Each structure stands twice: as C-alpha cells, then as structure tokens.
Homo-oligomer: A and B are copies of this chain.
C-alpha cells in the first residue's frame, strides 16, 4: 500500500486507502475511481472489496481489479471470480493470473493454477492474450496483461505497450502500483468509445517510461534505486517526454 500511495501522490493524485466495512462505501462516494487489490484476503476485507465495487458501479464510477496471486490458491481464485462478477471497468494481472482467471471463469474456481506460483508470473504476457480477450468479451471489461510487453484489450481491439524495464519485476507491488495508476487515468479519461482502453494503455506507458527515464539517472541500477527513481520521475517527467517516449501500438 505504501508504494502504491506514493506512486499516486508522485503522479499528482490524492489517494486514500480504506478497508473498514462501515466506511468503504463513503470513500467510494468521494472518490473519482476505485482500485480493488486482491493482495490481502481476510474474510472481512473481501466483504469490504465487494461492497466498494458495487458502490462504484452504482455511482457510475470506474473501478479496477488487481488480480494479485490469482491462481495461487483456490480461495484466491474464487475471490477474484467473485469480484469479476461485480463488473470491473478494467482487470489487471500478469500472464499467469489472467490465464488462471480465464480458466476459472470457464470451469468454476476449481482446477489447476495456470502456471501461478506465489504472485510472480511464470508465463509471458503474449501467452495470456487469448485468455484476456475471452475475459474482456464475456465480462464486457478491459483486460490488461502486464509483462515485458503489456497487452490491453476490450475483447476486440488489442493495444501493446513496450515501455518499462525488467528491473521492475524485482520491486514488490510494482504491478499493484501500476494498477493504481490505471485507476487514476480512468478517473481522468474523457467519455467516449475507446477512451478507457486508451487511458489504460497510457497509464501502462507512463509507468514504464518513468522507470526507464528514472534508471537513466542512476549510476548503478538496482531495485532500491529504481523505487526512488520511479517516484522522482513520475513527479518530474514533462508531458513532452511522455509523448516522445511512449511506445504504444495498436495490433
């Protein structure tokens, strides 16, 4: 939660983190977008996640589901399915998580793990493209698969984003922070067809680019320096640098 909140603050947003059952709905009421992260799965947290998601849908606010560790345990997969049924605007996971969710959505929450071991992916993002398209079509949402190349799809269109650095896989909650940024970009997206897909792709590009640009300033890059540089660069990056550096491609 710490790095997620700091990523949002560095990018100019105003994050608030809440999980108490009796205030999550009120927080959704004063928010521009909601992020539901599956990292912590205590029973009362899961109940609060559902309450918050339903409130967001009721109020017409965008909400994003982060599939942390989907497929790693049966409880985790089942909880992700429960939240998927609450109509997220965007679902974000790594390849293993998206494959596990699509498999579970097809045959119920039982079955094997789709290559998930813990919370890190054992598959390439392109391996999950068909699973992502299937999920997006069936659940009328946008699915973002992050990896060396990120893929974003609404079931029909597919956008690839080629920003980022492999060192991002060595800092915890990099994926979670990315999802938080997607929520922020959705909050700021103009209305209209395709705008949420584009906003999601832009969030992925900006996050990856901040890592790339940040690492250029570090004499001896490692995961500790990357965390610092990422936050600095999200704050310092000029719009021009973003426009010039984003590697977004419609497939």
Residues of A within 8 A of B (CB): 2-3, 5-6, 9-10, 14-20, 22-23, 26-27, 30-31, 39-44, 69, 72-76, 113, 117-120, 169-173, 217, 220-225, 227-236
**A172 to B: closest C-beta gap in Å:** 4
Residues of B within 8 A of A16 (CB): 69, 72, 118-119
- Cα of A165 to Cα of B171 in the assembled complex, Å: 24
Contact of A26 among B10, B73, B220, B232 (CB under 8 A): B73
The answer to whether A42 and B41 have CB atoms under 8 Å apart is no
Residues of B within 8 A of A169 (CB): 9
The answer to whether A117 and B14 have CB atoms under 8 Å apart is yes
- Cα of A178 to Cα of B69 in the assembled complex, Å: 24
Known A69-B16, A224-B229; judge A172-B5 contact (CB<8 A): yes
Sorted nearest first, the 3 A-B pairs with minimum C-beta distance are A222-B232, A224-B231, A26-B73
This chain's copy number in the assembly: 3
The answer to whether B23 and A118 have CB atoms under 8 Å apart is no
The answer to whether A9 and B220 have CB atoms under 8 Å apart is no
The answer to whether A224 and B232 have CB atoms under 8 Å apart is yes
Known A223-B6, A236-B222; judge A30-B118 contact (CB<8 A): yes
**A54 to B: closest C-beta gap in Å:** 17
The answer to whether A223 and B217 have CB atoms under 8 Å apart is no
Among A72, A117, A169, A172, residue most surrounded by chain B Cβ atoms (within 10 Å): A172
- Cα of A223 to Cα of B110 in the assembled complex, Å: 43
The answer to whether A171 and B6 have CB atoms under 8 Å apart is yes
The answer to whether A14 and B118 have CB atoms under 8 Å apart is yes
- Cα of A170 to Cα of B233 in the assembled complex, Å: 13
**A67 to B: closest C-beta gap in Å:** 14
- Cα of A220 to Cα of B39 in the assembled complex, Å: 33
The answer to whether B222 and A170 have CB atoms under 8 Å apart is no
